[in-house]
């Protein structure tokens, strides 16, 4: 089974999660090719399975991922698909599933594309990586959601066991 893992990452955590998923699939003898969304120029139907990962910025999935899905959804419906979202809201246990994460819920209300598997992973908070504007905005969002606001904060919230479990599910997709 030929698989493409396509991702969009703003600060690098979605790429890191994609790299990890690729390793999980390779350990299970899965044929997988990984692409940043801006590097993917293949025909979707050359693959048996497509895994799509997107970061969130200001409550919206990466625009290139959304455009890709909308342009390709008829082809995506003909093969096995999976989607994962990476966002800081998922750091809260009650918001770390596809059924409870507000960004995933909002996205799937806006599209008629339905992947076979969906998951959500918490990202990384690293204020030093952000531009001045992003840092101020993310600090404000964190303040509103009772998260850390210290500009020195760097916390990786990603639960790698959850990523491993998703990878195992993908092997059976």
C-alpha–C-alpha distance, residues 81 and 173, integer Å? 8
User: Can you give the pLDDT of all 173 residues of the chain as single tens digits?
Assistant: 899 999 999 889 999 999 999 999 999 999 999 999 999 999 999 999 999 999 998 889 999 999 999 999 999 999 999 999 999 999 999 999 999 999 999 999 999 999 999 999 999 999 999 999 999 999 998 898 889 999 999 999 999 999 999 999 999 88
Give start-end residues of each CATH 3.40.50.360 domain in the chain.
2-123+158-171
C-alpha separations of 161 from 62, 90, 108, 145 in Å: 25, 14, 25, 25
pLDDT for residue 15 = 98
Residue 39, class by beta-carbon neighbours within 10 Å (0-12 exposed, 13-18 middle, 19+ buried)?
Answer: exposed
Fold of 2-123+158-171: Rossmann fold (3.40.50)
Asked if 14 and 35 count as a contact pair (C-beta separation under 8 A), the reply is no
pLDDT at 162: 97
What pLDDT score was predicted for residue 1?
84
């Amino acid at each position: 089974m030929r698989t493409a893992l396509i991702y969009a990452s703003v600060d690098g955590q979605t790429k890191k999660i994609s790299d990890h998923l690729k390793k999980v699939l390779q350990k299970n003898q899965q044929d997988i090719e990984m692409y940043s969304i801006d590097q993917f120029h293949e025909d979707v139907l050359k693959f048996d399975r497509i895994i799509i990962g997107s970061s969130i910025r200001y409550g919206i999935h990466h625009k290139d991922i959304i455009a890709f899905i909308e342009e390709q959804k008829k082809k995506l419906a003909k093969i096995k698909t999976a989607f994962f979202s990476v966002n800081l809201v998922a750091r809260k246990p009650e918001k770390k599933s596809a059924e409870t994460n507000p960004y995933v819920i909002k996205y799937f209300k806006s599209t008629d594309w339905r992947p076979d598997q969906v998951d959500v992973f918490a990202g990384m908070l690293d204020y030093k990586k952000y531009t001045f504007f992003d840092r101020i905005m993310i600090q404000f969002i964190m303040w509103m959601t009772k998260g850390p606001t210290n500009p020195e904060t760097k916390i990786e919230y990603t639960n790698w066991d959850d990523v491993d479990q998703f990878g195992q599910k993908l092997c059976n997709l």
